[in-house]
Structure 1
């Protein structure tokens, strides 16, 4: 059962289809609509009103970090439902790297040796995570994210397109990183990070009004 009926849910559904190309591993029982996003697929069921059958595993197919955390802590964990790991068949990862549940890894990703991934992370397509790194829980890595070896990433972070994290950098929790950022130092938690030229553009627009 996919929790979410928006655009990202369709993307996750395609990953499941690709997983089933060689063998029938999962069957999508349906989509649960959530208040945090507009539906783009038919979802007659609403998360707040529907109880997932105990035999069905769930996948959090919502992109917004805050909404994901509410679903995880407010529904999935209290209900005791099994959260499936969705790993696209083109991705290279050791099974032992998935130390948690509920993760979604898209196509053409690489996860290095002795790396550990927690629970409910989204690793979008064409991402790489260097060897001996640690990824916490409920992080969203947009396409073309890359990090070096021995990187530590906490919980509830959002990385935009094509972000890069240098080796041995430690990222905290609950931060947002704009597309294209390169991190060479440890960023504090609970911040939003922008490129300098983006800040200049924002300032110029403000001065014009």
Structure 2
């Protein structure tokens, strides 16, 4: 049995709750609360999960694991640094499809109907949203966020802390640098340098 604390109180955090509360029901494990720097931001939506206070300075007790519910890659990286001694749970929805040869690192959160193919690598604290795909031999780097229906095709390699908007696609064998933003619906057809922002299909740099 594990006590989970959700990190974040925004829209993505509420999605994560929707994904995993039914899965955990009756298991003996569950969410005991959440941490967020706001003043109980979930309360306005009627959620009854206990607000345990701000993220900074939070000290989880023995046996408590954190679940990342922050989508902004830079925010995730900052939180991970602030809570460097905490254990982040790896959460995989039972309706996700994960190849037996895929590697999923600690703290990754993988939503329903996501697919992670042969010899793919999902890095630490990656958010792989509903229906998002990581193709064979592809890598989603640490602290990346893949919104719903994102497709990293075969052999794609991304750097750390990238944000992929809903439906973005990266064509096979391409690389995406660190801290990039790929807008919703973009189709990436060339290698992307660090700190780039791309939108449209074919994707163009802003």
Deviation (angstroms), 1:122: 0.4
The structure with more helix, counted as a fraction of residues = 1
What is the match of residue 42 of structure 2? Answer: 40
Query: What is the CA RMSD across the aligned residues, in angstroms?
Result: 2.4
Pairing partner for 2:176 from 171, 196, 203: 171
What is the match of residue 24 of structure 1? Answer: 27
Pick closer, same or farther for the CA change 1:140–1:97 going to 2, 3 Å: same
Pick closer, same or farther for the CA change 1:106–1:98 going to 2, 3 Å: same
What is the match of residue 63 of structure 1? Answer: 71
What is the match of residue 46 of structure 2? Answer: none
Deviation (angstroms), 1:145: 0.4
What is the match of residue 54 of structure 1? Answer: 62
TM-score (norm 1): 0.84
Deviation (angstroms), 1:60: 1.6
In 2: Cα distance, 1:124 partner to 1:38 partner = 24
Pairing partner for 2:6 from 2, 9, 12: 2
Provide Cα deviations, 1:172-195, integer angstroms capped at 9, x if missing partner: 110111111101110111111122
Structure 2, gaps ≥5 residues long:
44-49
The structure with more strand, counted as a fraction of residues = 2
Deviation (angstroms), 1:94: 3.2
Task: Give 3-state SS (helix, strand or coil) of 1:69's partner.
Answer: helix
In 2: Cα distance, 1:148 partner to 1:197 partner = 15
Q: How does 1:118-197 map to 2 (within 5 A)?
A: 118-195=123-200
Provide Cα deviations, 1:11-61, integer angstroms capped at 9, x if missing partner: 11122224325x6173101111135x9822451422224321121001121
What is the match of residue 47 of structure 2? Answer: none
Task: Give 3-state SS (helix, strand or coil) of 2:35's partner.
Answer: strand
TM-score (norm 2): 0.85
In 1: Cα distance, 2:41 partner to 2:61 partner = 22
Deviation (angstroms), 1:197: 10
Contact residue 111 and residue 130 of structure 1 kept, 8 A: yes
What is the match of residue 206 of structure 1? Answer: none
1:15 aligns with 2:19: yes
In 2: Cα distance, 1:115 partner to 1:198 partner = 24
Structure 1, gaps ≥5 residues long:
203-209
Runs of 4+ in 1 over 4 A off after TM superposition: 196-199
Number of matched pairs:
195
Larger Rg: 1
In 2: Cα distance, 1:197 partner to 1:98 partner = 30
What is the match of residue 88 of structure 1? Answer: 93
